[in-house]
Amino acid sequence: MSFPRRLLTAGEQVVVDLRPSWAFLGWPLVVTGAAVVLAVGLAVAFSPLPHEAVDALLLLVAVTVGVLAGRVIRWLSTSLVLTTARVVERSGVFGRRALEVRLDRINELSYHQSLGARLTRTGEVTLEVGGETGVVTLEHVRRPAAFQSLITEQVAALHARRLAPSTAYAERGPSAPHPPDTPPTGQRALAGSPGSGSVADRLVQLGELRRRGIVSAAEYEAKKAQLLEQL
């Protein structure tokens, strides 16, 4: 489920909308696979099995599959969204939970990957945020280094947009009219050539083209994957 457009503020655009890595399924996936292999192996090696053994194996498989199904539902209902103004983590099916961090409050960024996480191309991204929030850790992030780079680009673009009007006004003097607000990075990319700008700008441009219906969902996903590979 993509990030609802009605939740975006004026001028805000979605840069990336990600699901957690498949490593989010974790031990339920491993245990379910082991239970299925065990049940099939015993059924082949000791066929025919007593009814009690068959019932026990079926119960074991049913329980593990049920736990895995619950984790899959959580995976499908969890998203990590980076916009031109904030980072939002949303999860939940019946009840919704949302964590939101404004880009202008982020002081430092870091990411961590264990050896196993590097093999699965996942990891944690840590945001040091001003105020009472302190440190926010985003877990099971796909390609955390690339996601950190996108956040860094958007933070820089946000500060540049805020500084641009005051800088231009100071250069022209107080008698000159105050310039209008500088458009977001994604809008500047849309105004330029299709291949211009940073990867983050081009992702914003691609999202806008998808929103307008100019590119299909399949074309959007394919091009987004190509852009993320460039990070």
Q: Distance (Å, rounded) from C-alpha 65 to C-alpha 153?
A: 41
CATH topology classification for 5-20+78-229: PH-domain like (2.30.29)
User: Kindly report the CA angle at 94 between 93 and 100, in degrees rounded to 5?
Assistant: 65
Average pLDDT, the chain: 80
Mean per-residue pLDDT, 14-26: 86
Q: Is the pLDDT of residue 176 over 80?
A: no
User: What is the pLDDT confidence band of residue 142, given thresholds at 50, 70 and 90?
Assistant: confident
Q: Is the pLDDT of residue 212 over 90?
A: no
Check: CB of residue 111 under 8 Å from CB of residue 35. Answer: no
pLDDT in tens, 148-165: 999 999 998 888 887 776
* Cα separations in angstroms, 194 against 22, 78, 157, 191, 206: 32, 31, 19, 9, 9
Greater pLDDT, 144 or 181: 144
List the structure tokens of 24. 């989010």
Q: Which residue has the tokens 């945020």?
A: 129
pLDDT in tens, 29-88: 899 999 999 888 888 888 788 888 888 999 999 999 999 998 899 888 888 999 999 999
Q: Distance (Å, rounded) from C-alpha 63 to C-alpha 231?
A: 41
